[in-house]
Structure formats: C-alpha cells, structure tokens
Amino acid sequence: MTGVLALARRSLRGARRRFDARPLDTLLGVVAVVITAYAVVAPLTAARYPPITDLPMLASITSVLRHWLDPAWHFQDEFELQLTRVPTLTYPALGAVLALVFPIAIAMKISTAIFLLLLPAGLAVYCKALKKSPEIGVLGAFVAWGTIAHWGFISFLGSVGLTLMGVGLTFMVLERATARRTVALSVVSTLLFFTHVSAFPPYALAVAIAVAAMAPLTRRVRPVLLALAPPSALFAVWWFTRPELLRSRVSLGFESKRFSQMTDWLFHSYRGSAEEPILVTMLAIVAVVAAYSAAVSFFAARSRRTRASSRARRASVAALAIAAMFLGLYLAMPLEIGIWALVYPREIVPAALFTLGALPALPRSPWLRAPALAALLMGVTSASRFVAARFATFDGQTKDFEALAAELPEAPKLGYMMFDRTGSEGRLTPLLHLPAWVQAEKGGWLSFHFAIWEASPIRFRTTPPMDVPPPTPTGFERHPERFDIATRGKYFDWFLVRSAASPEARFLVDPTIRLQDQRGEWWLFHRQ
C-alpha cells in the first residue's frame, strides 16, 4: 500500500509539473480523455439491459465465474471450467471481480466500457509511437459503438485496442529499449493472448511488420523478441491442446464485393438511414482535419535530421502495411470457421484504426490543435448520442421482461423460446438471448447456452455429479419451434416465451404446465 501511495504521489507531482510547463496542452488532453470516456460510457447508462446481442450470454458466463463457489446458484452442477483450453478470460474475469461489488448488470456495463475504451487508448499509444498526435485516439470511440460491438464481440474489440497498443509499444522499444517499455510490451502482449486468443497470430504478424520496417535503422530486435517470448509460448501450448471444436481448417478466398460492405460492418447497427449522415459527417470531419493539419505542418515546417525523417517514413510505411494486412484478412477470411461466426467482418475494425496512423499529426501549437480536436470530438459525441438514444428506446421495450423475470424464483430451470424477436430498432436481433439475464442474475439453468460450443471458459459438465439441460437442436435459438415440450420440456419448471400471439396451445401436451403471467408479448408459464 505504501508503494502504491508513493507511486500516486509521484504521478501527481509529474502531472503538476506538466501542467505548469504546458497548461493548455494538458487541458486539451484532459478534455479529450473526458469526452472520449463520455462517448463510450453514455450509451451504457441509457438502458438496464443494453441492446447488445450476445451480452446476456456473456453476463451468464461471467456470473458462473462469480458464483462458482456458491451452491445455491447450482453452477457446479451444470458446468465445468476449462480455463486453460479456452483462455479468453480477461473480459469475464474482470466482470466477475466487479460483480463482487456491483450487481451483475452494472458489472457487465463497467467491464464493457473498460474494454471499449481500450480502442481509443490503444490508438492514442499507437499514434504517439508514430510521432503523431495521441489525440487522434479519440476516433477509437467512434468505432467502439459500431456493428461489431452491437453483436457483442467485446473481447475481440478489446484485443484490437491491445493490438494497437502493443504495436505502438513495439515501435517505442525499437526506438529506445528501456526496461519499462519492454515490460509494458510483454504485459500488453500477454493480456492480448488472454483477451482473445485468435487475435494473437495477426498481432504477431503486425509486430513482425513493424520490426522488419524499423530494425535495419534501429537494430533493436532482441528486446521485442524477449517481450513476446512469454505470450508466444502460451499460444504454442494452447495451439496443441485446444479443444477439437476449435481445430477447424481455414479456407481463404477473395471477395471484392466486401469493399462495399465496409461501412455496414463499421457503423450500421440500426434499421433505416439515420446512421448514414453521422458516418458521412465523421468521414468529412476526418478529411478536413487531415487537410488542415497538413496545411499547418507545411507552413510551419521545421528542419529535421535525416535520421528522424527516415524513421518517420519507415514508420508510416509499416503502419500502412499493417493496415493492408488486416484489410487482406477482411477480404480473404471466411464468414465462419467452425463454430466461430462473423469472422471476416471483424477485421475491418483493426484495418480502419491502423489506417488512421497515416493521418498527418495535429498541429503542435495548442491554439491551432484545439479546433481540430474539437471537430473530432464533435463527430464522436454525435455518434454516441445517436446510440444512447436507441439504447434508451430499447430499455422501454424490456420492461415487460423485467416484470416477469422478477416473478421467477432463485435458480430456476428456465426454458425460453423467442418466437417474436421484432420490435427493436437494431438490425442484429438484440432480443435473441435476453432471457439469459435471468441466469446471470439468479443462477439456475437455461434451455440454450453458449457452453454447448465449448468456446468459452465454461462448458457443460461431463462427469458426475451433473445436472445438465437436454441438448437443443442446432439453430434452436433462432428456431424455437424445434423445442419439444413433451420431451425436452420435462426438464424445465419455468418457460418464458416471447410471442405476438398466445403460445398456450404449444403447452397443451403437458397439462401440468399452466400460464403464470403475461405482459405485452412476454408469456410466463410454470409447471404446477
């Protein structure tokens, strides 16, 4: 504790010295951080259950880790941990720790915000390493609430932020290999492995591109190799011990039509055309800020040493090469790899963010930099307000679900069927897994769970004593009519159904099941 306090005091003294030396620069930095954090956090405060498709299931997995030792939740009866076989741990582990203090819904929001904030933070480190303005990192908040986040690929987006940060630290280590930088690179690389293991190979390739570009000039390869040795060893061990379901072969191709889909995967999560003006405005702002910064740089040109100019050229070439590598993955990767869905769309996010490293640096003068930063922040907050308004609308659409969920006992055996998934403005069916919040908040069992795919840190129990729900047909979550009440239904005591028309006829095959309550399109049945 004494060491932490001493470090805090030193940090405060350093911040005070920087403010005294360059007060306006410090003020701009603080404003950028505060508004960027607001842009990421604001939507999450607008709804109790955010309209993020996979978030309820992610909350359930997090709750399993949080309540693993609590027999009243019955998680050990149903699941077993596989923390080494699927080491995607940082997101659920952070949520589980936060859930020791906060309700699970709030814990998930905080951990989601932290992981999405890794995008602007990583972009800031990356731009600083390229001798560009770290304030460009605010653009990461615009991408944070794109289509990939609305699907619920939060761990992947966190890995993108760590990839940006790791590549930036690689440039810094190649420039000047201090112990602090080398350790930081190793820590970030290891965190990336535990955040999203499939993101590690592209990250290693991005680091290799940076080394290939800069090593002939700096001749400092060894510190980078030492920093990456621990996570590389972890990845090698995982590769040879990974579950069979994660051993699918990858077939590459080339789809030119994906060029026209880029904006859809970056920022088009809702129906209608309301998002298009926001995206067009943001692109226009970036173009104007780039032109403005280039013009200021041209008229305020300073003499630079040849070595510094050579380094800048090599760093820019490496940045574009890394962006091209991720763009190539976007164009060549399949849509699905075994149980992994939406594979290639994810790669457009790192491709776009690494491309931003080619932007001109913002003006050095804080007076000239302020209007450029204000324009970028205006575009970012505009997108955030749009998403927050949609989250608030969705919050009103979940009130009936909340009311029925409150009637359920602790640790229920809950079968859920989502016949009607409409009513949301989102294109990505955010209602699909909404009942999984019941398990996240109360424990018990669900009729469908991601654990069936064995691609998360938990899987269904395979050894006695076990109490595991009967397996569901493939695609059940989107085809609830495949759920047989007369057979699989015998396992469950409660049934939560979303349907525009009464689903009571489906339960006539079992006279012990009676309608408990109905709110709007939500129907709750109970086995008497």
Q: What digits encode the pLDDT tens for the residues 18-55?
A: 544 567 888 898 999 999 999 999 999 999 999 999 99
User: Are residues 252 and 332 in contact, defined by beta-carbon separation less than 8 angstroms?
Assistant: yes
Look at residue 53 and tell me if it is in a domain. no
Instruction: Indicate whether 326 and 414 sit together in one domain.
Output: no
Q: How confident is the model at residue 299 (pLDDT cuts 50, 70, 90)?
A: confident
| Shared-domain flag, residues 255 and 371 | yes
Does a structural domain hold residue 240?
Answer: yes
* Whole-angstrom distance, CA of residue 417 vs CA of residue 400: 15
Question: Does 132 map to a domain?
Answer: yes
Amino acid in position 7: L
pLDDT recorded at residue 472? 80
Pick the closest to residue 243 from 88, 113, 416 (CA basis): 88
The residue-averaged pLDDT of 431-445 equals 96
β-strands 79-81, 458-460 pairing: antiparallel
Same domain, 426 and 518: yes
Q: Which domain holds residue 307?
A: 2-45+82-389
Could you check whether the bond before residue 366 is cis, i.e. omega within 30 degrees of 0?
A: no
Look at residue 429 and tell me if it is in a domain: yes
217 contacts 178 by C-beta, under 8 angstroms = no
Contact indicator for 519, 400 with CB cutoff of 8 Å: yes
* Whether residue 502 sits in one domain with residue 404: yes
Q: How many domains does the chain have?
A: 2
Q: Which residues contact 372 (CB under 8 A, 6 or more apart)?
A: 289, 292, 293, 362, 363
Q: Is the pLDDT of residue 72 over 80?
A: yes
> Per-residue pLDDT averaged across 338-349, rounded?
85
pLDDT at 8 over 60: no
pLDDT single digits (tens) 175-214: 888 999 999 999 999 999 999 999 999 999 999 999 998 8
Instruction: Say if residue 414 is in the same domain as residue 446.
Output: yes
Residues 409 and 267 placed together within one structural domain of the fold: no
**pLDDT at position 76 over 90:** yes
Q: Which of 365, 389, 413 is the last residue of a domain?
A: 389
- Shared domain for 41 and 131, answered yes or no, is yes
For 468-480, b/e burial (b = at least 16 CB within 10 A) is bbeebeeebbeeb
- 3-class secondary structure, 444: coil
Q: Are 510 and 489 in contact (CB under 8 A)?
A: yes
Same domain (yes/no): 263, 240:
yes
| Domain membership flag for residue 289 | yes
| 515 and 412 both lie in a single domain | yes
Could you say which of 356, 389, 422 is where a domain stops? 389
- Asked if 158 and 297 sit in the same domain, the reply is yes
In the predicted structure, residue 131 carries a pLDDT above the cut 80: yes
Indicate whether 74 belongs to any domain: no
Alpha carbon distances (Å) from 79 to 449, 494, 496: 11, 20, 22
Residue 54 forms part of a structural domain: no
Q: What is the pTM of this model?
A: 0.92
Q: With bands split at pLDDT 50, 70 and 90, how would you rate the model's confidence at 7?
A: very low
Is residue 75, in this structure, part of any structural domain at all? no
Range with the largest mean pLDDT of 1-10, 187-196, 479-488: 187-196
Single residue among 354, 389, 424 that ends a domain in this structure: 389
| Structure-block tokens of residue 238 | 């995982």
Distance CA 396, CA 401 (A): 10
Is the predicted pLDDT of residue 304 greater than 60, yes or no?
no
- Check: CB of residue 191 under 8 Å from CB of residue 234: no
Same domain as 385, residue 512? no
Q: Is 270 or 20 the better-scoring residue by pLDDT?
A: 270
Judge if 197 and 339 occupy the same domain. Answer: yes
Start-end of H helices in 176-305: 179-195, 200-218, 222-241, 262-266, 275-299
> With 90 as the cut, is the pLDDT of residue 162 above it?
yes
